[in-house]
Amino acid sequence: IIKGIGDDASIIKVGNRYLAVTTDTLVDGDHFSLRYFNPEQVGKKAEEISIFIFLLWF
pLDDT tens, 17-49?
A: 998 887 778 899 999 999 999 999 999 999 998
Contacts of 40 (CB under 8 A, 6+ apart): none
Closest Cα partner for 46 from 23, 13, 19?
23
What is the full DSSP assignment across 20-57?
A: EEE-----BTTTB-TTT--HHHHHHHHHHHHHHHHHTT
pTM for this predicted structure: 0.62
pLDDT for 4 equals: 60
Q: Cα–Cα distance between 40 and 44 in angstroms, integer?
A: 6
Dihedral of the alpha carbons of 54, 45, 31, 12, in degrees to the nearest 10: -30
Residue 49: the pLDDT is: 85
